[in-house]
Structure formats: C-alpha cells, structure tokens
Amino acid sequence: MFNIFLYSLNIIKYMSHLFAEDIAQLPSRYRANLINSVTGYKSCNLLGSKSADGHTNLAIFSSVIHIGSSPPLLGFILRPLTVRRDTFTNIKDLGYFTVNQVSVEMYHRAHQTSAKYEKEVSEFDEIGFKVEYLDDFEAPYVAESTIKIGCKYVNHYPLEENDCLLVIGSIERLYFPKEIQDSDGFIRLDKAATVTSMGMDGYALPAYLERLTYARPGSEPSTLINGT
C-alpha cells in the first residue's frame, strides 16, 4: 500500500498544472491543440450539403452530438460566421444535410475536406468521394460511408460566449448494415470501423470493451451480450 501511495505522489509530481491565466498566455495554436484534445475522443463525420444552384459540398466535423431521441435530433457546432461557411449557407438554403460517419479507410481523404476550397468546387470531386442520393432526399450522401444519416434543418442558436452556432437537425433517414446492430437497437460502431477525432487533426480507431446493464443503486453492473 505504501508503494502505491509513493507511486501516486510521483505521478502527481510530474503532471502539468495549468490555471486559466496560464492557458490564456499560451501561443494560440498550442492552446487550440491542447483544449481541443484534452476533453477526449469526439465524433468524426462528413457533412454533405448542396447549394441553391446545385453545387455539392462536403466538410469534416468533430462536433456532431446527440440532442435527443424523441424526437430524434442531433446537433453540431459551427464556428463564427466571420468567414464564408458554405455548409451553413447550404443547409439554410436547402433545408437538408447529411451526416456520414468516417471509417478507417476514409479518414485521410475526409481530413482533406477541411481545406478551403472555392465555393464552386465540390469536395466530393476534388477528394474522390462518390456522391450518392437515396430515396429522393435532397442532400448528398457519401457513398463510401457505412453509416449515413439524412437530416432536416430545424434551428440554430448563437453561443454568446464565443460567437459560435449550435445547429440542430432532425433525423429523417438512417442507413446502416443490419449486421452491426444489436437486438435492442444499439449500433456497434466498432463493427463499422468508425474512427474518432482527437483534437483538430488526430484520428483513432477505438477498441470496443463491453456494454453494461442499466445502473441501479446497490447493484453491480454486468455485461450485456447483444443487447440482453
């Protein structure tokens, strides 16, 4: 026990300590890398959209989040509109967009969509992803993506603290292979080789550990097998 205590003290001794004033004084790029990565793994998705005059657009986002299940809603964070944001303009004009999960085979090309292409240039064409339209949905999907979500624009909310926007979409379409779904509806992202985002430019392939039973006071969780 004493050895464990000494080990813990040693770990604490060599840990970095940063307070708000220290963070504020860091070089901007260093600070961005630090804060973007320290909060943990994030989702990694390609948002597909189309302009009013028919130009397709594709952009990588690491901020797509679950908003609610009833009704099914998701959201993503958009940086301030101080520069041209084609994804947001297209979503507002068309009213629809797609969310396409990035797999391990896709992330190199997906990362390239963060480059600042001209408005008339389609990232689909430049990077080599295939445009796919499904079931008369107006926004383009990424054909190579295993898990695809078709969304309808619902609303957006300005975040006063940093001038970013929270954009909300309702889930109108879902496409995924049947074999990656458990009997209770749960989607096994590991079976789709879905990658996660780390910070602004890092990618990882997570390892599935297990699913656990619903947590209740006074009982230990046990392993769920295929949702049961």
Tokens of 108: 């190199």
**The whole model's pTM is what?**
0.90
In degrees and rounded to multiples of 5, residue 116 shows phi and psi of -90, 85
Domains of the chain by range and CATH?
1-38 (no CATH), 41-224 (2.30.110.10)
CA distance 225 to 213: 10
Beta carbons of 48 and 86 less than 8 angstroms apart: no
Q: What is the pLDDT along the chain (228 residues), one digit of tens a residue?
A: 445 544 454 555 566 788 999 999 999 999 999 999 999 999 999 999 999 999 999 999 999 999 999 999 999 999 998 888 999 999 999 999 999 999 999 999 999 999 999 989 999 999 999 999 999 999 999 999 999 999 999 999 999 999 999 999 999 999 999 999 999 999 999 999 999 999 999 999 999 999 999 999 999 999 998 888
